[in-house]
C-alpha cells in the first residue's frame, strides 16, 4: 500500500487528513512530539480500519525528524506522500506573535525554524527516495496570512510566506519529474467555534482539498476560504 506521512499530526487537521487518505487505501505514519497523543491517534484510526503507526519527532530537532521519517519508510516500505503542518498546540519556547513593526530577529527566528526550516528538513529526508522512484507528493500547510498577511501575526506570516515561496519554487523545479509539490493556505478558523465575524471550517471540510491536490496535481497552491 502507499504511505502518507503527516508531520505535525494532531486530533484536528492531522487526523482528518489521515482519514481522507487512509480510507482511500493509504497507510499512515504520524509524526509529532508527544508519544501518548500519537498513540491515541493510531488507536482511533485503527478502530476505523486505517493502518497507522506513531513516530515521535520534534521538527526543531532535525536529526529526530529525519530519523522518524527513515523509520516510517522502513516500517511501511516507502513514503509516497508527505504532509507538513506542525502547529504549536502546546507551548513552544520562544514562540510569540508580533506586529510587523515589532518583529525582531529573536521573535522571528523560532517561527522560521518551525514553519520553514522544519519543512526543508522533512523534504530532504524523503525527496531522494521519491526521485529514485520518479513519483511522490509533497504538501505543506500554512495559514491564510502567508498569502494575505494580518498585522497581528507579522512574524508568523513572514515565516509562512517564506514557506509558501519555497514550496511554489519547489513545485516549479520538480515539474516533469513525477514529484508534485503544493502549498495549502488555510484562511479560516479551524473548528466550529471561531471568533465572531471570522469564517470557520471543520477539519473534515478542509481535508478533501489535500486529496484533490494529490490526485489532480494541477496547481502549486490552494487557498481554503470556506
For the chain, what are the domain ranges?
Answer: 3-224
Contact between 111 and 156 under an 8 Å Cβ cutoff? The reply is yes
Give me 222's grid cell.
Answer: 490552494
* DSSP classification of residue 144: G
- The pair phi, psi for residue 61, each rounded to 5°, is -110, 95
Helices (H), the chain: 13-22, 35-47, 62-76, 105-111, 118-133, 154-174, 203-206, 208-216
Contact between 202 and 192 under an 8 Å Cβ cutoff? The reply is yes
CATH code: domain 3-224 is 3.40.50.720
Q: What is the mean pLDDT of residues 8-32?
A: 96
- The pair phi, psi for residue 118, each rounded to 5°, is -60, -40
pLDDT tens for 180-208 read 999 999 988 887 765 566 788 999 999 99
pLDDT tens for 89-102 read 555 666 889 999 99
Largest Cα–Cα distance of the chain, in whole Å? 50
- The pair phi, psi for residue 7, each rounded to 5°, is -95, 115
Contact between 80 and 2 under an 8 Å Cβ cutoff? The reply is yes
Contact between 84 and 125 under an 8 Å Cβ cutoff? The reply is no
pLDDT at position 89: 54
Share of the chain above pLDDT 70, in %: 94
Q: Please state at what angle helix 154-174 crosses helix 118-133, rounded to 10 degrees.
A: 10
pLDDT at position 31: 98
pLDDT tens for 57-111 read 999 999 999 999 999 999 999 999 999 998 765 556 668 899 999 999 999 999 9
The H or E element that residue 66 is part of is helix 62-76
Amino acid at each position: 500500500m502507499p504511505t502518507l506521512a503527516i508531520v505535525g499530526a494532531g486530533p484536528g487537521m492531522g487526523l482528518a487528513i489521515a482519514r481522507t487518505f487512509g480510507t482511500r487505501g493509504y497507510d499512515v505514519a504520524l509524526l509529532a512530539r508527544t508519544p501518548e497523543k500519537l498513540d491515541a491517534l493510531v488507536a482511533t484510526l485503527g478502530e476505523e480500519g486505517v493502518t497507522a503507526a506513531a513516530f515521535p519527532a520534534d521538527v526543531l530537532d532535525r536529526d529526530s525528524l529525519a530519523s522518524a521519517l527513515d523509520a516510517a519508510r522502513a516500517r511501511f516500505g516507502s513514503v509516497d506522500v508527505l504532509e507538513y503542518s506542525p502547529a504549536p498546540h502546546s507551548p513552544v519556547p520562544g514562540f510569540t506573535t508580533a506586529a510587523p513593526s515589532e518583529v525582531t530577529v529573536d521573535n522571528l527566528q523560532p517561527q522560521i525554524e518551525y514553519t520553514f526550516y522544519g519543512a526543508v528538513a522533512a523534504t530532504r529526508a524523503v525527496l531522494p527516495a521519491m526521485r529514485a522512484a520518479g513519483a511522490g507528493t509533497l504538501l505543506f500547510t500554512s495559514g491564510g496570512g502567508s498569502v494575505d498577511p494580518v498585522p497581528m501575526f507579522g512574524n508568523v506570516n513572514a515565516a509562512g510566506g517564506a514557506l509558501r515561496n519555497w514550496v511554489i519554487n519547489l513545485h516549479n523545479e520538480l515539474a516533469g519529474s513525477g514529484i508534485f509539490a503544493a502549498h495549502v493556505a488555510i484562511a479560516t478558523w479551524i473548528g466550529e467555534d471561531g471568533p465572531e465575524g471570522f469564517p470557520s471550517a471543520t477539519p473534515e471540510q478542509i481535508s478533501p482539498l489535500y486529496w484533490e491536490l494529490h490526485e489532480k496535481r494541477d496547481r502549486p497552491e490552494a487557498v481554503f476560504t470556506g
